[in-house]
């Protein structure tokens, strides 16, 4: 009886002091310079972009919820003219997330696009906690920034772990000073150690990983890490620019896309007596949400300067570059398949021409970063350069053997699916991003996509002569692709003979080189031209059924398949039988 009374007393005491604590986690990711709801590359107001709209959502959530933890998942400081403000004492985007009282800033891969000192000064300026569990110093093994934090919310211990995709040494291979003294660990290697240290120290465990559902270089993506580490309640994602809300076992996994289109929300209700948790996740759209006037007014100078810079005239486009940007519909907006991925266009020719000129190369390779890239007849402005060349890449010149150049060309041609009998359209490999398909200048070649991968590049000649596998050629690529070639072991650091960043610092970025070339070498005239050096063979580009396909696509009776994440168009060929 005495034991029963004690037990009853304890239960009554627990119920008396127990409470349910509700904690709301909010996450932004891949803002990429969108402080304002404006895309400066196309000089266009957006209805679902920007921290100005996200700020309105954040303030509303704070009104409705007592306990809010605010996280940015990285790739904050690059793109959309954000580089114009790199010399400020603190970048306006860091100041903005300070104004909005963000608790956590997780480093993204694009935070390493600039000098390490730039990143370090902004890390220091952030008033919350900067996290990256898998970045350690090579000299002492200590973490570069905090791997995790633990917050006490009304007696509930909340642990937040940060992680970023570990491939910075590959992507920044041409500028190792950007990550000097740092080592990037894999997900499993770093998280196993961190979670061991956290055992018994938390009630709620949240991850903020700047990582996609799958890892583009074969490592563990978020879904695999959620399987390996099921102790997480929520893992907020990024990097993929995708919008999803899913589960892996009991782990909620969510990403809010890019540019501030959505705000990811995770709500955890924790019972302090029973330890029971309920977890709900959702993505909140920013579409047509009013922009926050306080942020908008305070940083109006950022918007003004960005627009003025984007609209500065640097030349004249003498003729429109691509008449039919969308191969099927002919429209400027790409909804089926980009013409620029199927045949040589003056856009890639211009970029390769610039690269060959400054790297003094025999051969140049470049990719389309924006499927709708085009230049229209009229004034040539800085925003047009940003439109056709999205990233802040620099230019690298490398010595490469003919044998390895051929391997590189075959690697690039994996972008196409193998063409089968009865296929009306050429389709793209959904496992290869469009920015990983390079087109070459300075070398004549044909692509036979009826052949399997690795056997597609045929009739290759340089200066009218068959390519010599043993000869060394000078190749121009951007710094990102240099990292790829290094990983593929097609070039080494010793092969590098030119680096535009070392030569010209920030003026050595590809956008600046394009402007420099047009103003200094072309008398400010931008004229479309073609080398006519490559083509896809064994495909009928003049098939009369393509006209019928256009009609059916416009009517909506035939749809061109896209990948689940929406980022890869045209992943399966339309059959002739579907149109007949």
Tokens of residue 417, six digits:
């699916």
> What confidence score (pLDDT) does residue 391 get?
84
Hey, what's the torsion of the CAs at 441, 79, 371, 44, to 10 degrees?
-130
User: From residue 143, how far is each of 131, 136, 176 by CA, in Å?
Assistant: 9, 4, 18
Q: Mean pLDDT across the chain, nearest whole number?
A: 94
> What confidence score (pLDDT) does residue 570 get?
94
- Backbone Cα Rg of the chain: 26
> What confidence score (pLDDT) does residue 290 get?
97
Name the least confident of 102-111, 385-394, 417-426. Answer: 385-394
> What confidence score (pLDDT) does residue 216 get?
80
- State the chain's maximal CA–CA distance in angstroms: 101
Which among 449, 446, 438, 433 is positioned nearest to 482, based on CA atoms? Answer: 438
> What confidence score (pLDDT) does residue 16 get?
53
Contact 281, 245 (CB under 8 A): yes
> What confidence score (pLDDT) does residue 188 get?
93
**Going by C-beta distance under 8 Å and a sequence separation of 6 or more, which residues neighbour residue 463?**
none
φ, ψ for residue 204 (rounded to 5)? -125, 130
pLDDT greater than 80 at residue 130: yes
Which among 432, 376, 423, 436 is positioned nearest to 536, based on CA atoms? Answer: 423
Q: What percentage of the chain has pLDDT greater than the value 90?
A: 88
> What confidence score (pLDDT) does residue 8 get?
55
Tokens of residue 267, six digits:
């709500």
Average confidence (pLDDT) over 172-190:
93
pLDDT digits (tens, 9 = 90+) for 487-517: 999 999 999 999 998 888 778 889 999 999 9
Alpha-carbon distance of 147 to 221, in angstroms, equals: 18
Average confidence (pLDDT) over 76-90:
94
pLDDT greater than 70 at residue 133: yes
What does the chain come to in residues? 580
Which among 205, 226, 206 is positioned nearest to 214, based on CA atoms? Answer: 226
Strand ranges (E), 29-118: 38-39, 44-45, 68-72, 104-106
Contact 457, 413 (CB under 8 A): yes
> What confidence score (pLDDT) does residue 94 get?
98
Confidence (pTM): 0.79
Alpha-carbon distance of 240 to 251, in angstroms, equals: 19
pLDDT digits (tens, 9 = 90+) for 11-40: 555 555 678 999 999 999 999 999 999 998
Label each residue of 262-281 as H, E or C: EEEEEEEEEECCCCCEEEEE
pLDDT greater than 70 at residue 9: no
> What confidence score (pLDDT) does residue 41 get?
82
Query: β-strands 243-248, 234-236: how paired?
Result: unpaired
> What confidence score (pLDDT) does residue 568 get?
86
pLDDT digits (tens, 9 = 90+) for 391-418: 889 999 999 999 999 999 999 999 999 9
> What confidence score (pLDDT) does residue 5 get?
60
pLDDT band at 354 (very low <50, low <70, confident <90, very high): very high
pLDDT digits (tens, 9 = 90+) for 308-326: 999 999 999 999 999 999 9
Contact 433, 212 (CB under 8 A): no
Tokens of residue 386, six digits:
């940003």
pLDDT greater than 90 at residue 7: no
346-359 helix and 510-521 helix, angle to the nearest 10 degrees = 90
233-255 b/e (C-beta count within 10 Å ≥ 16 → b): bbbbbbbbbbbbbeebeebbbbb
51-64 helix and 92-99 helix, angle to the nearest 10 degrees = 20
Q: How far does CA 154 lie from the centroid of its chain?
A: 37
75: exposed, middle or buried (Cβ count in 10 Å: 0-12, 13-18, 19+): buried
Contact 80, 92 (CB under 8 A): no
């Amino acid at each position: 009886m005495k034991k029963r009374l004690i037990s009853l007393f304890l239960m009554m005491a627990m119920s008396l002091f127990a409470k349910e604590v509700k904690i709301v986690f909010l996450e932004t990711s891949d803002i990429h310079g969108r402080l304002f709801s404006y895309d400066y590359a196309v000089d266009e107001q957006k209805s679902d972009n920007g921290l100005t709209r996200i700020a309105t959502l954040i303030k509303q959530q704070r009104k409705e919820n007592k306990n809010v933890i605010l996280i940015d998942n990285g790739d904050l400081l690059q793109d959309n003219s954000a580089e114009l403000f790199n010399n400020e004492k603190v970048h306006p985007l860091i100041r903005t997330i300070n104004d909005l009282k963000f608790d956590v800033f997780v480093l993204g891969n694009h935070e390493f696009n600039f000098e390490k000192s730039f990143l370090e000064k902004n890390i220091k300026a952030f008033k919350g906690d900067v996290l990256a569990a898998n970045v350690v110093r090579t000299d002492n093994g200590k973490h570069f920034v905090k791997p995790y934090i633990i917050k006490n919310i009304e007696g509930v211990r909340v642990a937040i772990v940060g992680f970023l995709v570990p491939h910075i040494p590959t992507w920044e291979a041409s500028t190792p000073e950007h990550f000097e003294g740092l080592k990037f660990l894999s997900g499993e290697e770093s998280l196993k150690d961190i979670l061991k240290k956290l055992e018994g120290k938390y009630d709620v465990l949240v991850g903020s990983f700047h990582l996609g559902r799958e890892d583009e270089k074969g490592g563990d993506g978020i879904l695999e890490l959620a399987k390996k580490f099921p102790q997480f309640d929520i893992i907020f994602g990024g990097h993929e620019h995708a919008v999803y809300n899913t589960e892996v076992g009991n782990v909620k996994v969510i990403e809010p896309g890019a540019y501030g289109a959505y705000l990811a929300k995770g709500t955890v209700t924790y019972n302090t007596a029973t330890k029971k948790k309920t977890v709900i996740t959702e993505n909140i759209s920013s579409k047509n949400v009013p922009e926050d006037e306080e942020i908008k007014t305070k940083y109006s100078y950022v918007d003004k300067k960005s627009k003025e810079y984007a609209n500065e005239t640097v030349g004249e486009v003498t003729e429109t570059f691509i008449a039919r940007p969308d191969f099927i519909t002919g429209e400027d907006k790409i909804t089926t398949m980009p013409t620029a991925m199927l045949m040589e266009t003056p856009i890639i020719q211009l970029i390769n021409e610039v690269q060959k000129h400054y790297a003094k190369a025999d051969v140049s390779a470049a990719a389309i970063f924006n499927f709708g890239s085009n230049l229209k007849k009229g004034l040539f402005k800085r925003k047009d350069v940003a439109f056709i060349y999205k990233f802040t890449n620099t230019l690298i010149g490398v010595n490469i053997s003919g044998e390895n150049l051929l391997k590189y060309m075959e690697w690039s041609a994996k972008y196409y699916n193998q063409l089968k009998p009865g296929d009306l359209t050429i389709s793209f490999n959904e496992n290869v991003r469009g920015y990983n398909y390079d087109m070459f200048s300075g070398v004549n070649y044909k692509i036979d996509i009826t052949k399997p991968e690795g056997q597609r590049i045929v009739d290759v000649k340089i200066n009218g002569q068959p390519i010599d596998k043993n000869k060394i050629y000078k190749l121009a690529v951007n710094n990102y692709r240099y990292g790829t070639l290094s990983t593929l072991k097609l070039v080494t650091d010793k092969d590098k003979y030119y680096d535009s960043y070392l030569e010209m610092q920030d003026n050595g970025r590809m956008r600046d080189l394009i402007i420099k070339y047009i103003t200094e070498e072309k008398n400010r005239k931008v004229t479309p031209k073609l080398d006519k050096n490559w083509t896809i063979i064994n495909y009928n580009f003049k098939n009369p059924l393509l006209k019928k396909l256009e009609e059916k696509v416009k009517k909506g009776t035939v749809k061109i398949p896209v990948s689940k994440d929406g980022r890869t168009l045209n992943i399966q060929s339309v059959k002739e039988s579907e149109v007949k």
